Structure 1
Amino acid sequence: MEERTRHLMAQLPYLRRYARALAGSPADGDALVTRALEWYLDREGEDAGEHGGTVPLRMTLYRHLNTLQDDRDAPAATSAHPVEAALGALGETDRRLYLLVNLEDLAAADAAAVLDLPAGEGVERLARAREAVRARLAATILIVEDDAIIAFDLAETVRSMGHIVCGTAATMDEALGLAAEHTPTLALMDIRLAEGDNGIEVARELRRQRFLPVIFVTAFPEDVVRRGVEYLGPVIPKPFTREQIEQAITRAVFTPAPEEGRAMVPPVA
């Protein structure tokens, strides 16, 4: 294989990754890559100096992928995934800047050059884009727990992850009231609550009103299995570790919500 082609093929995994994120779908991204490769191979004798290093060649191809995407005159496909949705809320130039730096590991100045931005402007726009994505990915979490010490520990874990605690409830009425007021994106739910209330019933009611992911944090995990309500959410037995809570929250936050109509609660047995 001639050297020119070898250099090009070495870029293929990076091109596919960027193009798929750029177009919003694997099929559209791969189609962009095919066209970019054809364009480049047709430029015999026009690429002097581009093989001086891997990054300059890759930057040339990233730039052309952007041009091809613009020529499609179609926005990137939308996604229900929280990360992709957060990126989709950015302006298109900022989205591409974010992808080139955070996905493709380009230096901010190199990513700015790909997008024909002054280096200083690229750094400023990247900082704003990162903050916007971080803000959109910050979950609002309701803690339903009647033990004040455990509730405090859970709240500290949530805040340390950059998420927001919208409130702590010890009873069903308190939980439903806080949920109505703050519309949380996730609930950490004990099962046996104050005043004889039951977290499973709270979770069922929250699910009936609107889809709300729930993570049960309980000393009685068998209650979930015995009542056949595993569909309501995963269970973390007490005593728990902070790592267990962090991992469960991350999975819940970065899992797309089910389509409307598929989050219905089965009837009470």
Structure 2
Amino acid sequence: MSSAQMVAHHLPYLRRYARALTGSQSSGDAYVAATLEAIVKEPSILADAGKPKVALFRCFTAIWNSLPVNGSSDLVEPDSPAERRLGQLTPKARQAFLLVSLEGFSEEDAAGILDVDLSKIRSLVEEAGRELAAEIATDVLIIEDETFIALDLEGLVESLGHRVVGIARTHSEAVQIAQKKRPGLILADIQLADGSSGLDAVNELLDTFEVPVIFITAYPERFLTGQRPEPAFLIAKPFQPATVSAVVSQALFFERNATRRERRIPA
């Protein structure tokens, strides 16, 4: 693939990222245009790159970060509440969050794009998670049969500014609490204490109201085959607090910015 073909292939994703970063189509596209001009003047930016997409985003980032106006106040007339929430993040944290959460870069590639080390990118994503959580605090239902794990999750989500409305150990408890409290987020284990399924409980609830769900399981490979519709948000046990923090914020952020749709997850 030639450099021109490579740029054309990745250009829609760079536009998406730039628009999310600036909160404005016109402003985002202007930065993309500046990036393309820089590549035309210096084709070697991409010519020897082992990962052309990383190199493209790295070039964009160099241009973005070279301008002192690109602080948290640079968003121009954001078009949606989601974009306004992004505008509250510090610049580096906003970039890290979007690279990992929106564009799907690995932590290693995101670190390369932002020219920071791996520990820094992780701290930036965690920072973004906490800042976003403060903007989109909600009521949380925890479906988990292991007491200590449930308590850990409760403490974690409350530290992010959310409120735990209940902890369920079985399918029936989960349905009962959710129908009464109508949580804004569910954290669910899959295998529950009485042999019932957190997956079945979630599907029953999604038949009555829409809510983002994060599954936390010791067997994530069973639900990441790519062969059927599967959970969008999945955390493997044992989990890291920073991972839960980031995924909670991703789930709430992108759920509120998404088009409404049917969300039944197959068992």
TM-score normalised by L of structure 1? 0.51
Aligned to 2:101: 102
Write the letter of the residue equivalent to 1:120.
Answer: S
Amino acid at match of 2:186: M
| 1:87 Cα deviation after fit | 2.1
Other structure's SS at 2:104 match: coil
How far is the alpha carbon of 1:160 from its aligned partner? 4.9
- Equivalent of residue 73 in structure 1, options 41, 44, 69: 69
Q: 1:246 aligns with which of 183, 194, 209?
A: 209
1:195-206 mapped onto 2 (5 Å cutoff):
none
User: What is residue 19 of structure 1 aligned with on the other side?
Assistant: 18
1:20 Cα deviation (Å)? Answer: 0.9
Q: CA deviation digits over 1:64-84, x for unaligned, max 9?
A: 222333427251225363332
Aligned length: 168
Q: Map 1:1-269 to 2 at 5 A.
A: 3-45=2-44, 47-50=46-49, 52=50, 56-70=51-65, 71=67, 73-74=69-70, 75-79=74-78, 81-139=80-138, 152-158=177-183, 160-161=185-186, 242-247=205-210, 254=256
Supply the distance in 2 between the matched residues of 1:245 and 1:78 (Cα, whole angstroms).
36
Distance 1:67 1:243 in 2: 43
Shift of 1:61: 2.1
**Post-superposition shift, 1:30?**
1.3
- What is the distance in 2 between the residues matched to 1:125 and 1:66? 16
Aligned-partner SS, 2:31: helix
Contact persistence 2:18–2:32 (CA under 8 A): yes
* Residues 178-234 of structure 1: CA deviation (Å, up to 9, x unaligned): xxxxxxxxxxxxxxxxxxxxxxxxxxxxxxxxxxxxxxxxxxxxxxxxxxxxxxxxx
Q: CA deviation at 1:45?
A: 4.6
Change (3 A) 1:78 1:118: farther
Q: Distance in 2 between matches of 1:111 and 1:89?
A: 21
Cα distance change, pair 25–159 in 1 and its aligned pair in 2 (3 A): closer
CA displacement, residues 81-135 of structure 1 (integer Å, 9 cap, x when unaligned)? 3332332222110000000001111111211221121111211221232233234
Unaligned segments of structure 1, at least 5 residues: 142-149, 163-240, 256-269
Q: Is the 8 A contact 1:78 1:88 kept in 2?
A: no
User: How far 1:29 moved relative to its partner?
Assistant: 1.1
Offset at 1:158?
Answer: 0.9
Alignment CA distance shift 1:47-1:254 (3 Å): closer
- Shift, 1:4, TM fit: 2.2
**Counterpart of 1:27 in structure 2: which amino acid?**
S
For residues 243 and 47 of structure 1, do their structure 2 counterparts lie closer, same or farther at Cα, with a shift above 3 Å needed?
closer
Q: Residues 63 and 115 of structure 1 are in contact (CA less than 8 Å); yes or no, is this contact kept in structure 2?
A: yes
The offset of 1:8, in angstroms, is 1.7
What amino acid sits opposite 1:121 in the alignment?
A: K
Amino acid aligned to 2:53: R
One-letter code of the match for 1:119?
L
Distance in 2 (CA, whole Å) between partners of 1:155 and 1:138 is 19
Q: Any unmatched runs of 5+ in structure 2?
A: 141-174, 188-203, 213-251, 258-267
- Give per-residue Cα distances to partners, 1:131-158, cap 9 Å, x unaligned: 33234223369xxxxxxxx995434441
Contact 2:19 2:25 in 1 (8 A): yes
CA distance in 2, matches of 1:67, 1:45: 15
Give TM-score, length-normalised by structure 2: 0.52
Q: Does structure 2 conserve the Cα–Cα contact (< 8 Å) formed by 1:81 and 1:254? A: no
Match of 2:163 in 1: none
DSSP 3-state at the match of 1:161: strand
Any idea what SS the aligned residue of 1:132 has?
Answer: helix
Structure 2: how far apart are the matches of 1:152 and 1:46?
A: 55
Q: What is the letter of the counterpart of residue 39 of structure 2?
A: Y
